[in-house]
Structure 1
Amino acid sequence: MRRLAAVLALAWAGQVGAVPTPEQVKTAYRASDVQLLDRHGVPIDALRTDMTVRRAPWVGLADISPATRLALVHAEDRRFMQHDGVDVGALGKAAWDNLLRTRARGASTITMQLAALVDERLRAGAGGRSWGQKWDQARVARELEAGWSKAQIMEAYLNLVPFRGELQGIGAASQGLFGKAPSGLNQAESAILASLLRAPSAAPRVVAQRACLLAREINPAAKCAGIEWDVAAAFSRPSASAAQTQAPHVAQRLLKGMGTGTARQVRSTLDAGIQRDAADTLRAHLAALRERHVTQGALVAIDNDSGEIVAYVANGGASEVDGVLALRQAGSTLKPFLYQLAMERGWITAASPQDDSPLEIATAAGPYVPQNYDRQFKGWVSTRTSLASSLNVPAVRMLQLTGLERFHARLRALGMASLSEPAEFYGFSLALGSGDVSLLELANAYRTLANGGLHGGVTLLPRAPQPKTRVLDAKTAFIVGDILSDRAARSLTFGLRNELATAFWSAVKTGTSKDMRDNWCVGYSEKYTVAVWVGNFDGSPMWDVSGVSGAAPVWRDVMERLHRALPSRAPAAPPGLVQQMVSYQPALEAPRREWFVRGTESAQLTLVGTAQRRSAIVYPGQDGVIALDPDIPAGRERVVFRAQGAAGLSWRLDGVALGAAGAGHAWQPVAGEHELALVDADDKVVATTRFSVRGAPAGAARP
């Protein structure tokens, strides 16, 4: 046998042939998926382009578990580190065993197997390899050993060898069978993979037996029961991509159409951590809303300066619809742009009184009668309160002021190309968001507010800085942002405690479409704009879901995730703005400091004529509920009663006189049911409202 080995060695040495270099093999290698990377190079998704085989990206030897390398050598080629490509001793033993035994034994080294993997002419046919193929296989193995290191041979072999079914290479096999990277394979999993090499299609029972024997040869203390369980679990796993699936719709959008010969990785602007947390937050909230018939949601987060999308959650449920691009009715989210337009034209200021009283507009389709969300009217309120508290009737009056076509053109200039019908198609209900827009369009329009009126495109691919175009006046864009950040101004509708409040500066607006089919929350901080939609893709209505209970909690949680270690400061006022105290006569709202475009400021606004036609309690509203804030020290919390047309009137609470109603009254809330009244000089009741206070003050015992 030694004489035969010597003769073979001389014959192989005389053969001359070119074998590929490690670099050529690695360059020619193609993963079956095109990978989507995040902005830091972390894989977050993939799109399969080769349906004949499943291959993961090339895995370096240092990223493969030492247990796997040990199991492989022990099972396939124990003298791998000693031979020069052909193990003559193993060859002779195999020939002797094959002569005397009925069970055939192979003698191919890892290097010989690699030779067949890199040269298809050396691969076995239906009847096995011919003697010529075997000769050439041994020759090529010797040449590989002469030009490659052992580490390079091992690495290439593990990336090219088939394991089971369509799984080729250690990366695909590790992810497909065990759901982990090759670096995390343990001893039992490594034994299973090594046992598959000789018989990739073997039955689970056979694989488990072989793996058990191999594991015990390596470590006598190995437990076969655990291996049997691992085999059963591995073979029952559904086929999965080697990459994590965190942004499937983005992968489809960016990777579709890329052939097998093109680049196999595409870097996006997404942030893997933010994307994962945003998706988890959305799914958790949808689960909490399931009983209210809310099944779907979508979210997008954009860097204000660059326009780079850092999170794109197209679908919070089980659907292929891209909720970031789907068109839905915008609800009240369009109101900030309506009020900004009127301010920009100089028709109103943030302090201007707005009339929230019944309105009927004659149209070709019949009378249009807008209603507020709570179907109540607040009377006269300021622009600030009207926008922040999202009152509908004043918004429709504002659209009458600005003009339907002018507002429609402004929305189109903000990038809402989906509003493609003529302005008349939408009618005055456009003020309340009757037009269909996408979440991405809406988010980028709010990003324009965040950028002081400068508009630019968004991107999912890294790019050089892009110039922005001024679409909104900077001064009035700032005032609108200040209104949307004003917790007190929104309290008329939402209360002081709600899901819109963040621990840092932010401006935000909610919206709910007709019949409660869509719920939105869109807002921005100094750094990011975040937009959230929840609803149902089939258009069915939700059940009792408002702006603060639907999309707002997700918006707040994602915003807080983005600003976990990042401050958000209020923007600096641009030139041309002044801030001064303003008061009302009669006192429809308490005196306050207000922002004005220079030249429009006024210290006092007096309501005349129809402005004084009726007196009413503005806050608390009828049957309203006030929740005590447990974070405010006992005895420090106050509720401010507000009224319109209150000149000469007084407050009376639960039969007890409180004083003049002209400037409001700061009342220390007491839990329970209450009745508030406006009374005139003759003690005649002019207006009443019943409300309740719930909760316990700070420091009180709680169940």
Structure 2
Amino acid sequence: MKRRTVAIAAATVVALGVALAWPAQAPEFAAVRASFTPSDAFLLDRHGDVIDTLRIDMKVRRFEWQPLSAISPAFTSAVIRGEDARFREHGGIDWRSVIGAVRDRYVLGRPRGASTITMQVASLLRSTPRAHEGIRAWLQKRNQVRLALALERSWTKDQILETYVNLLHYRGELQGIAAASYVLAGKVPSGLSLSESLVIAALLPQPSAAPERVAARACSRARSASIAVDCAEIDRTAAVVLSNDSQHSAAPQLAPQLANALLKSAGQRVTTTIDAGLQRTARDVLTLQLTKLADQNVRDGAVLVVDNETADVLAYVGSAGPRSRAMQVDGVRALRQAGSTLKPFLYALALERRYLTAASLLKDSPVYLDTATGAYIPQDYDKDYKGLVSVRTALGNSLNIPAVRTLVLVGVEPFRDRLYELGFEHIVESGDYYGYSLALGSAEVSLWEQAQAYRTLARGGQSSHLRVVADQAPDASHQLVPADASFIVADMMSDPAARTLTFGADNYLNTPFWSAVKTGTSKDMRDNWCIGFSSKYTVAVWVGNFEGDSMHDVSGVTGAAPVWRALMGDLHRNESSPAPKAPPGVMSAKTRFVNTNEATRSEWFTKDQQTEPTMIVALAQPMARIASPANGMVIAVDPDIPPAYQKLPISVEGATRKMTVKLNDQKLSLTDGVTLWTPRTGAYSVELGDESGKVLDRIVFTVR
């Protein structure tokens, strides 16, 4: 036994001598640190702060490399005491430990290691499978010693220790102190307490050990170092930190849907335009409102806040609410029925084409419209018809029938085209597909598209794409909606008096500063929206259920509007919001109304529409059009019914006596704009022409 011990000791000395005589080359510390790739990708706000993370590499869990200054001194001290007490004194090899390890292994029969922290760093840097016996083990130990000595020559002690705590595997898949601290303790490494530091450091000899064994080791180490610590507290800490369900995360989770959309590779860092403080506020305000609406079957919501000038997205809340059943859904990008939120763009198009003014009168009364799929009978939200109303009153109170009448003037196809130009990229079907219900928001849109379109109105009709990635080049603006039409529509949307018929004088749409806003509620109360803007910001809010089930008696003004007003108030706590100035060519005039309850007021007109200092407004005349049959209609003749009892009404609206109506070039005689025609199989066209023969409207239909 003595001869064997002497031989092994001699071999060890020879190995160390060879290592000393044949030095290795240490890698650069900066290169080692730079090569450390987190398993997560990181989403940053506009100031560089992390707002969310996304796990990409599923083989190991690594967070970002932590400098020694960002790690709790209690933890680094616990690591040194437990793993290499003379770390600060030796030059990479602790000779006392080496001699003691040889003695204990071969004399006393109690094997123990003698590797220093520096030697363990050398092994971590080589990352080769460990051999336990034979020449291979001897060669590995020799190379480990050579690299350890090289590290001591070219690195500082702090750099060696920093590398050690960042490359170590702590428990399970966790590598590095950041992952261990975040996941096990739910803290950044600098926030580890004394008991947490002792417990995590005690993991290193046996990362998979039971909590009781780790706690016992931590307590023994603390007592050996004369550290005043409560072992019962260490037991409790180990039970929490090392429990099977302990998966804390100190990393903020402020924008998970945006992180899912933008983060693709491990270690990636994407800087966004988001402001972390505003993002947190938007999430909390929305969550509070959803909590209040829980008894009305409301579970989900989304918020988007945009800087009007730069198009930067400042807050992007894709989902919120503790009762959500689908938190992974991105409510900012999801498509939902628009409800009344498209009406401002419809009236803007009518103003642009000079079909209407803000003072034009429209009928809010029952209307029946023939379409290719049958009669379309729109109704107002409250089913209380208001009679003759101005465009200002119709938009402010979100009246449906005046909007449909306006769409008849404008045309479904031109309105569909305008919506697409505004950024509603999913409104791509033909006009016949949407029909007149497009005026009431039957099409599906996203909150992102809504914010982009409303920002166009906020900027006097200048349109550009929103951006949420900081290094994305700003999109060039172009004038999409004329400045005069944008200004007048925004003024109508900002007028509290214009919405009192439906919403009352005191509602969530009123703010103490200038703002313009519109709400919308889709069919069966499945979605409600509130979107509006101040001089500086556009805020878009959606509330509903991702699964599509209906809310209970929740409209835009009671569901989404409280969130909108709270965020607008927060944005303008220290900022003013002056009303926009009228663009060139827009004039105000005292306006008096005839045969209506509209009060006399000062109204905005374009210069070519204002004819007198005081305007007197009567009912707006509709454009001449073919009212029925609907374009593209297919009519079936029933052979069981006598032909004399099968009549098709051919009717026109807005036509004068000098206009003519032709069926397949045959002139028709109409009484009060209607004639009853006996259908015969074939293809037909109906044309409405003026006195000069110019075709004003044309439709086609088929009889089978």
Q: Helix, strand or coil for the counterpart of 1:196?
A: coil
Aligned: 1:43 with 2:47: no
Q: Offset of 1:6 from its aligned partner?
A: 8.0
Residues 18-97 of structure 1 mapped to structure 2, 5 A cutoff: 18-97=25-104
Cα contact 1:30–1:264 (8 A) shared by 2: no
Match of 1:347 in 2: 355
1:337/1:112 Cα in 2 relative to 1: closer, same or farther (>3 Å)? Answer: same
Amino acid at match of 2:45: D
Corresponding residue for residue 627 of structure 1: none
Secondary structure, aligned partner of 1:46: strand
Deviation at 1:466, TM superposition (A): 2.4
In angstroms, what is the RMSD of aligned CA positions? 2.3
Higher mean Cα deviation, 102-111 or 417-426?
102-111
Q: Which residue of 1 aligns with 2:289?
A: 285
CA change 1:85–1:367 in 2 (3 A) is same
1:404 equivalenced with 2:407 (yes/no):
no
2-side partners of 1:21 and 1:242: how far apart? 31
Shift in Å at residue 93 of structure 1? 2.1
Per-residue CA deviations over 1:8-33 (Å, capped at 9, x if unaligned) read: 76543211322211011112111111
Inter-partner Cα distance in structure 2 for 1:125 and 1:274: 55
Task: Measure, in 1, the Cα distance between the counterparts of 2:391 and 2:221.
Answer: 78
Q: 1:638-677 counterparts in 2 under 5 A?
A: none
> Identical aligned pairs, as a percentage?
49
Aligned partner of 1:366 among 368, 374, 377 = 374
Are the counterparts in 1 of residues 484 and 606 from structure 2 also a CA contact under 8 Å?
A: yes
Q: What's the CA shift for 1:609? A: 11
Give the greater-gyration-radius structure (CA).
Answer: 2
Partners in 1 of 2:407 and 2:595 — Cα distance? 26
Gaps of 5+ in 2: 1-5, 623-704
* Number of aligned residues: 606
Q: Per-residue deviation at 1:581?
A: 2.2
Query: Distance between the aligned counterparts of 1:561 and 1:31, measured in 2?
Result: 36
CA distance in 1, matches of 2:21, 2:293: 76
Query: TM-score w.r.t. structure 1 length?
Result: 0.82
Partner of residue 619, structure 1 = none
- After superposition, the C-alpha distances for 1:577-601 in whole angstroms (9 at most, x for unaligned) are 1123222234622222222212323
- Secondary structure of the residue aligned to 1:546 is coil
In 1, Cα distance between the equivalents of 2:619 and 2:339? 33
Question: In the TM superposition, what is the alpha-carbon distance from 1:217 to its structure 2 partner?
Answer: 3.9
Which piece of structure 1 moves more, 13-22 or 147-156? Answer: 13-22
Q: Specify the alignment match of 1:663 in structure 2.
A: none
CA contact (8 A) 2:388 2:596 kept: no
Kindly tell me: are residues 386 and 217 of structure 1, through their superposed partners in 2, closer, same or farther at Cα, counting changes over 3 Å?
farther
The partner residue of 1:577 within 550, 574, 586 is 586
CA contact (8 A) 2:591 2:617 kept: no
Deviation at 1:80, TM superposition (A): 0.9
Amino acid at match of 1:76: E
CA distance, structure 1, for counterparts of residue 98 and residue 170 of structure 2:
24
Per-residue deviation, 1:563: 2.7
* Structure 2 equivalent of residue 124 of structure 1: 130
1:204, 1:231 within 8 Å by CA — same for their partners in 2? yes
Identify which range, 12-21 or 151-160, moves more after superposition: 12-21
Aligned to 1:421: 429
Letter of the aligned partner of 2:344 in structure 1?
A: P
Contact 1:68-1:185 within 8 A present in 2 as well: yes
Q: Does the CA contact (< 8 Å) of 1:385 and 1:490 recur in 2?
A: yes
Residue of structure 2 in register with 1:265 after alignment: 269
Contact 2:91 2:149 in 1 (8 A): yes
Distance in 2 between residues matched to 1:310 and 1:302, nearest whole Å: 6
Quick one: distance in 2 between partners of 1:437 and 1:251? 22
For residue 191 of structure 2, what is the aligned residue in structure 1? 184
- Whole-angstrom distance in 2 between the partners of 1:395 and 1:176: 55
Is 2:329 the partner of 1:321? Answer: yes
Deviation of 1:4 after TM superposition, in Å, equals: 9.8
Asked if 1:136 corresponds to 2:143, the answer is yes
Q: Does structure 2 conserve the Cα–Cα contact (< 8 Å) formed by 1:187 and 1:215?
A: no
Q: Tell whether the 8 Å contact from 2:337 to 2:522 is kept in structure 1 after alignment.
A: yes
Q: Which runs of 5+ in 1 are unaligned?
A: 612-703
What SS is found at the alignment partner of 2:242? helix
What is the rounded CA distance, in whole Å, between the counterparts of 2:127 and 2:304 in structure 1? Answer: 48
User: Could you report, residue by residue, the CA deviation over 1:176-227 in whole angstroms, capped at 9, with x for unpaired residues?
Assistant: 1011111111111110111011110100110111122223344543112222
* 3-state SS in 2 of match to 1:130: helix
Equivalent of residue 151 in structure 1, options 138, 152, 158: 158
Query: Cα deviations across residues 349-402 of structure 1 (Å, max 9, x unaligned)?
Result: 112222211212122322211111111011222211110111111111111111
| Distance (Å, rounded) in 2 between the aligned partners of 1:271 and 1:471 | 29
Residue 227 (1) aligns with residue 244 (2): no
Question: Structure 2 matches for 1:509-528, cutoff 5 A?
Answer: 509-528=518-537
- Relative distance call for 1:313 and 1:127 in structure 2 (3 A) is farther
Once residues 261 and 137 of structure 2 are traced to their aligned partners in structure 1, the CA distance between those partners, rounded to angstroms, is 48
State the one-letter code of the partner of 1:498: N
2:300 corresponds in structure 1 to 296
The answer (yes or no) to whether the contact 2:131–2:140 under 8 Å persists in 1 is no
Aligned to 1:625: none
Alignment pair present for 1:543 and 2:558: no
Question: 1:440, 1:125 → 2: CA distance?
Answer: 58
